[in-house]
């Protein structure tokens, strides 16, 4: 089974993200969803992970338009420590 990692900083997932995650799981991917928040509507076939295991929250910030941006350091650290595919949602 191929392991994939996805990052969702805060808040609930939209229908599109939920469908994407379910599609990966349905196609035999081991889905790990990293977040600084408890995602109540995450699909049950995803493994929820605490993003703080990779980097502290201060590497994530909210810009003036209230859009989340993730430091490239987070993605580099996740990839180098987990040695798995990273998918952007």
> Higher confidence at residue 65 or residue 29?
29
Task: Write out the residue range of the structural domain in which residue 74 sits.
Answer: 2-86
pLDDT at 68 over 90: no
Rounded distance between C-alpha atoms, residue 78 and residue 34, angstroms: 10
Nearest to 51 by CA among 39, 36, 70, 31: 36
Lateral strand order in the sheet of 46-50: 46-50, 29-35, 2-7, 85-86
Instruction: Please tell me whether residue 2 adopts helix, strand or coil conformation.
Output: strand
Tally of domains in the chain: 1
Which band of pLDDT confidence, cut at 50, 70 and 90, is reported for residue 66? very low
- Contact by Cβ (8 Å): 49, 38: no
> How does pLDDT run across 6-53, given as a tens digit for each residue?
888 888 999 999 999 999 999 999 999 999 889 999 999 999 999 999
């Amino acid at each position: 089974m191929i392991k994939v990692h996805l990052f969702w900083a805060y808040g609930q997932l939209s229908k599109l993200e939920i469908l994407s995650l379910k599609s990966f799981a349905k196609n035999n991917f081991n889905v790990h969803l990293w977040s600084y928040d408890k995602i109540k509507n995450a699909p049950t076939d995803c493994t929820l992970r605490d993003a703080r295991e990779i980097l502290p929250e201060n590497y994530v910030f909210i810009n003036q338009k209230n859009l989340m941006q993730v430091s490239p350091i987070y993605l580099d650290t996740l990839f180098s420590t987990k040695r798995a595919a990273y998918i952007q949602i």
